[in-house]
Homo-oligomer: A and B are copies of this chain.
Amino acid sequence: MDISSDHSAAPGQESQSPTLVLLSGGVGGARLAQGLEDIPGVAITVIANVGDDEEMYGVHVSADLDTVLYTLAGRQGPHGWGMAGDTFRVMDHLADLGVDTSFRLGDTDLATCLRRTMALEGGASLSEITAEITAAFGIRSRLLPATDDRLRTRVQTPDGEWLAFQDYFVLRKHKDRVMDLEYQGGETALPAPGVIEAIESASAVLLAPSNPPLSVWPILAVHGIRDAIAAHDRVVAVSPLFAGRALKGPAAEVMDSLGLPPGTAGILEAYEGLLTDLVIDIGDAADVALHGDGSVSLHAADTRIADRAASRRFAQMLIEEIL
């Protein structure tokens, strides 16, 4: 299935017990993490975006961390967020009390956020409480926030207004054209403990099929992470695009409004200077002829990981044929 432009690579040579780092946003990264975790012998550390984090209803919501958490626990909600079978008693009563509950947090999802908030208010770091919650969910992989410091993605709309990420993404349903992005706090945020070490000791670093500007760039904005990845000899991105469009979310629109070229070329430019390999969908196999700055090997494969079985198949292919 792998149509590689770089036949000098020796597929599978490091596949015995890979130690992988996966940079992840929400759903796409969570699914890939689950697929990788399903492969015996694979150890993964997920470094999750926290630019989407927000305080709401008095709790600290970590949307991407929790999407990965719930997915790895096999308990993710049907729309890619929240927990399966969750109820909304707290939201319903908050609405009765006049609170705007457009951002719907389920009761058990809220409990996760409350637990995190209690720990943060008690002086724990985000990575400490994430480790505790991850253990409570019985998750085998390591899940790290990119940073324990405050980092907030904001997007600028055409009329010059800056929106908090969740306002843009959830409340306004990512309909606004994104003219600019900023990662508030990114210039001073330090990597969470273990992040750089995990990257340096990984057999490969994977960039999940997440939205590059909205989900992966905020991770790269944390001081030292981009450099550590650029220095790694195996950095493989999975494109979130299919014929130039994401299956879910505004990746193509945001990349376009930020001036990136469409499709595979845009992904190459979004990750310029970082990648050794880029996996694109088999439907875009013609793009394998593209070489970015010439140093990136392109691979075409079936990248539709709509369910756990497909994620596992894709992960198996990644490990056997590309890593």
Contact = CB atoms under 8 A, between A and B. Distances in A.
Interface of A: 57-59, 86-87, 89-94, 96-99, 107-108, 110-112, 114-115, 117-118, 121, 132-133, 136
Dominant secondary structure of chain A at its interface with chain B: helix
B121 A58 contact: yes
A57 B89 contact: no
A14 B89 CA distance: 45
Of A90, A110, A112, A114, most buried by chain B (CB within 10 Å of CB) is A90
A23 B91 CA distance: 32
A94 B121 contact: no
Contacts of A57: 114, 118
A97 B111 contact: yes
Contacts of A115: 94, 97-99
Given A58-B59, A59-B58, A136-B97, A89 B118 contact: no
Given A58-B58, A133-B97, A136-B98, A89 B111 contact: yes
A89 B114 contact: no
Contacts of A91: 111
B90 A108 contact: yes
Contacts of A86: 89
A115 B56 CA distance: 11
Contacts of A99: 115, 118
B89 A108 contact: yes
Contact of A93 (B98, B111, B117): B111
Contacts of A133: 97
A58 B93 contact: no
Contacts of A90: 90, 107-108, 110-111, 114
